[in-house]
Structures are given as structure tokens and as C-alpha cells.
Amino acid sequence: MKEVSDDLMQEIGNSIHPFTTNTQPYVIAALRVLANKLEEKTDGKWENTIKGIEKIMDTIDVIPKEEEV
């Protein structure tokens, strides 16, 4: 689970351009909406798995780049 979580977080992070302090609120909102919609479609059958993976992913640090002005 840790390896898959690391890979997914890296892939998502690399796919968002630019991921900076100024775009951070939009990224958070988009990912939260996406996660909520995906979770709705599972009808609760993956609830325990999702909670376990969330705990693992919570240990991964994400650092946005500073916007160059």
C-alpha cells in the first residue's frame, strides 16, 4: 500500500502544472471534489481500506513551489 500510495501521490503531483502556492487552493478544491465523487461511487464497500490508505498517505509530504514573480 505504501509503494502504491507513493507512486500515486508522485504521479498526481507531477501532473499538476503549475503546482504553486498561488494555485494550491484550486488544486485542493479539485482533488477534494474528485475524491468525494469517487468515494460516493464505492457505496461504502471500500470504507475501511480507504481509511487505512488515507493514514498512509497522510505521512507523505507535499511541498508546493513558490510562485516566481
What residue type is 10 in one-letter code? Answer: Q
CA–CA separation, 21 vs 35, rounded Å?
Answer: 21
pLDDT digits (tens, 9 = 90+) for 11-66: 887 888 777 888 888 988 999 999 999 999 998 899 999 999 999 888 887 766 66
Whole-prediction pTM value?
Answer: 0.68
- 50-51-54 Cα angle (round to 5): 85
What nine digits make up the cell of 66? Answer: 513558490
